[in-house]
Structure 1
Amino acid sequence: MKITEGVKKYRSIITIVLALIGIVIMAYYDYCDTTCSYLKGDIFGIDIKFVGIAYMVVIIAFAVFRQTPVVRVLLAAGVGVEVHLYAFQVQNNGYCPFCLAFSVMLLLSFIINYEVPSAWRGNRSRMWLYFLGEVDFPMFKINKLPLLIFSLLGYLTILFTFSGSVTPVYGQTTGGVIPSLGTGQYKIVMFADYFCPPCRRIDTKAEPLLKELLNSGKVKIEFVDVPFHRATPIYAKYYLYAANADSGADNILRVRKTLFDAAQVKHIQKEDALIIYLNEQKILWKAMDEKSIFTKLSAIIKDNNIKSTPTCLIRYSAKEVKIFVDDIEIWNGLNALKAHISAGKR
């Protein structure tokens, strides 16, 4: 009883704290510090991460002024939204830990603000209608309004406005050859997004090791740009253009470093600005039909079920393929391949 009374007493403060945690989670997800998971969605063209942040800000505003009825309505609508987003992740077999953590904050806030509906005492037959609780708006002379209504409204709103995807793809066409380095029996495929911080970290850290593996004459390397960020297709295009101008290993690795810098240091998102930067860095490029290669990149991304970056696929043989996710795992995987080659194993 004392715990319940304490929760009620500090309900607004707890709600504010949980909402702030939700904002931090979404901000951290946007920064993408460990791996960049591809669970993308928007509402009316607005990234759902920013919608989530704005939603929590609104909850904080009403909680500060102790407008509990409005907070309950917002949280009930949020529960309806989360039902659809959960279903979307299950249906696509792609789960976003940040999104799930955010939903936990929302559900905890809902529980903190929940009260057993008085309508249950009057008519038990309507328990199903009030199982999420009720809300009163005396100023509008509205009493015992089921929160289930707002949950359904939230669900229907997200159902008809949410546009999401799990596996990123480029525009489709046919033909084209994906640039590669080396011709060895072992194959490395590096999946990355230029706007993904851990992708840049492993790209920089692994460059000497990749060169060493190439020099062994036993390794073939492909780089697959995964279009998580909306500007990534532009970067992928100029990577292909640069590889078309000079497909040597030193140039390819230098081009990728330059593109990572353009994305994360210069924060370039427009094609004109990227061209200027590449010219300043003396990166040569030769235009080609990049769309023909984008089709193959999309197929590789889909076939390997790539849902986060950085991801590295190492094929030892037709029957032995290992996949590593995040920069630490990839580093260990590449070193394991180096040891395998050095030991002369087959």
Structure 2
Amino acid sequence: MNAFAWLKSNRRPLTVLLAAAGIAIMLLYTYCDTACSYLKGDILGIDLKVVGIVYMLLIIGLTVGGEMGGTRMLLASGLGVEAHLVYFQHKEDVYCPFCLAFAATLITSFLLNHEKPATADRSLKDRLIGIFGEAEVPFYRKARVPLLLMAVLGYIFITLTFSGSVTPAYGADKSPVPSFGKGPCQVIVFTDYFCPPCQGLEPNLEPVLEQIHARGRAQIVFVDMPIYKETPLYARYYLYAANAGGGFKDVMDARRALFAIARGKTAKDEESLAKALKEKGIAFKPYDPKPVFNAWNDLIRQHRVQGTPSCVINDCRAGISRHTGGDDILQALSRFMMRPKSS
């Protein structure tokens, strides 16, 4: 038995495995196991990740139930959907590895289940329409549907119902972002207090940033990316703490406290957050943060930051470099510290 014959005879279990892999990819994206991304989308108000999981569950149900015509129809419509979603990422120049991996499982499943269409005694028009093949309608096998039609319908559906965003929603007039240190270079740290990888990185990042500040190697800038819905409130209180007039140590204490509160999920509104910070001895002075939020937006766009934790190092000698993930960030900052100091 050659490879093609083996694949054909094992289509159903392989289709189920690929659908399960698609579900795993969406779950991994949901729980943000590597880096949190602010590339978001929904269909009719339902998070795209949830839609993806339900879609793959339907694929599994139809396949296990022996309704392979329905499986092929769903896979074909999924091709149309993915064509639009990949185009959206290309247009915005923001690529989500989880989304692309999900698309790869879908395309592989479609190819695995593709049936070569019969072309004998058919017109050119019918051949073109049937280029993707045909499928029996589930539970009514007398009717057959061209899969190209399903792909087109999928594309039309997603263009009418999809809403996506790649930029967090901060806003208002421009204003200088708080920065710390007087070095000739710049280190910009992009984090979210609720992002698990950021929470894991922070204890190791703190001493490195303190060394950079103490040695006058670079100006340090913190950008709070609002990936989680609670983050804008915490970001506001970070700015309030920075506005209280303390030094770099006070700002680091405030960040440490905000990460701890976020990790414990003990403050979900402004009153409880302010109380928790006071209990930790963090001073803060309220003011209008909207101009800084807008400046943060500009930095996110300028450096094309797509997830957290991220770090941009503007090295006077080596130029600008962008790093994502805890290990990459710490290694890059370590190399930066080892370079001769720029004048």
Q: TM-score, normalised by structure 1?
A: 0.90
Conserved 8 A contact 1:169-1:301: no
Local SS of the residue matching 2:155: helix
What do residues 155-190 of structure 1 show as CA deviations (whole Å, max 9, x unaligned)? 11111111112233412x225442222222222111
TM-aligned CA distance change 1:144 to 1:177, over 3 Å: same
TM-aligned CA distance change 1:138 to 1:247, over 3 Å: closer
Give the gaps of 5 or more residues in structure 1.
none
Conserved 8 A contact 2:70-2:138: no
- 1:47 is aligned to 47
Whole-angstrom CA distance in 2 between matches of 1:256 and 1:234: 13
Whole-angstrom CA distance in 1 between matches of 2:277 and 2:45: 30
Matched, 1:204 2:203: yes
Matched, 1:194 2:193: yes
Local SS of the residue matching 2:243: helix
TM-aligned CA distance change 1:231 to 1:138, over 3 Å: closer
Structure 1 residue 28: deviation in Å? 1.3
Identity of aligned residues (%): 40
- 2:109 is aligned to 109
Between the two proteins, the alignment pairs up a number of residues equal to 342
TM-aligned CA distance change 1:319 to 1:112, over 3 Å: closer
TM-aligned CA distance change 1:312 to 1:338, over 3 Å: same
- 1:178 is aligned to 177
Local SS of the residue matching 1:121: coil
Whole-angstrom CA distance in 2 between matches of 1:194 and 1:17: 35
Q: Letter of the aligned partner of 1:316 in structure 2? A: D
TM-aligned CA distance change 1:103 to 1:269, over 3 Å: farther
- 2:226 is aligned to 227
Q: Letter of the aligned partner of 2:79 in structure 1? A: V
Whole-angstrom CA distance in 1 between matches of 2:276 and 2:25: 33
Matched, 1:266 2:284: no
TM-aligned CA distance change 1:131 to 1:223, over 3 Å: same
Structure 1 residue 222: deviation in Å? 0.9
Q: Which moved more, 1:273-282 or 1:184-193?
A: 273-282
TM-aligned CA distance change 1:121 to 1:280, over 3 Å: farther
- 1:256 is aligned to 255
- 2:287 is aligned to 288
TM-aligned CA distance change 1:63 to 1:345, over 3 Å: same
Whole-angstrom CA distance in 2 between matches of 1:4 and 1:183: 64
Matched, 1:311 2:310: yes
Local SS of the residue matching 1:330: helix
Whole-angstrom CA distance in 2 between matches of 1:269 and 1:66: 48
Q: Letter of the aligned partner of 2:168 in structure 1? A: P
TM-aligned CA distance change 1:19 to 1:271, over 3 Å: farther
Whole-angstrom CA distance in 2 between matches of 1:131 and 1:232: 49
Coordinate RMSD, CA, aligned: 2.4
Q: Which moved more, 1:270-279 or 1:59-68?
A: 270-279
Whole-angstrom CA distance in 1 between matches of 2:77 and 2:312: 41
Q: Which moved more, 1:194-203 or 1:126-135?
A: 194-203
- 2:297 is aligned to 298
TM-aligned CA distance change 1:59 to 1:322, over 3 Å: same
Q: Letter of the aligned partner of 1:304 in structure 2? A: H
Whole-angstrom CA distance in 2 between matches of 1:273 and 1:108: 49
What do residues 263-293 of structure 1 show as CA deviations (whole Å, max 9, x unaligned)? 3442865545544543444433332101121
Conserved 8 A contact 1:167-1:305: no
Q: Letter of the aligned partner of 1:33 in structure 2? A: D
Whole-angstrom CA distance in 2 between matches of 1:228 and 1:60: 31
Whole-angstrom CA distance in 2 between matches of 1:317 and 1:212: 18
Task: Give the alignment of 1:123-202 within 5 angstroms.
Answer: 123-125=122-124, 126-137=126-137, 139-140=139-140, 142-171=142-171, 173-202=172-201
Q: Letter of the aligned partner of 2:328 in structure 1? A: E
Q: TM-score, normalised by structure 2?
A: 0.90
Task: Give the alignment of 1:3-82 within 5 angstroms.
Answer: 3-82=3-82
Q: Which moved more, 1:287-296 or 1:329-338?
A: 329-338
Local SS of the residue matching 1:178: coil
Conserved 8 A contact 2:193-2:258: yes
Conserved 8 A contact 1:76-1:148: yes
Conserved 8 A contact 1:184-1:219: yes
Whole-angstrom CA distance in 1 between matches of 2:131 and 2:269: 50
Structure 1 residue 101: deviation in Å? 0.8
TM-aligned CA distance change 1:216 to 1:138, over 3 Å: closer
- 1:100 is aligned to 100
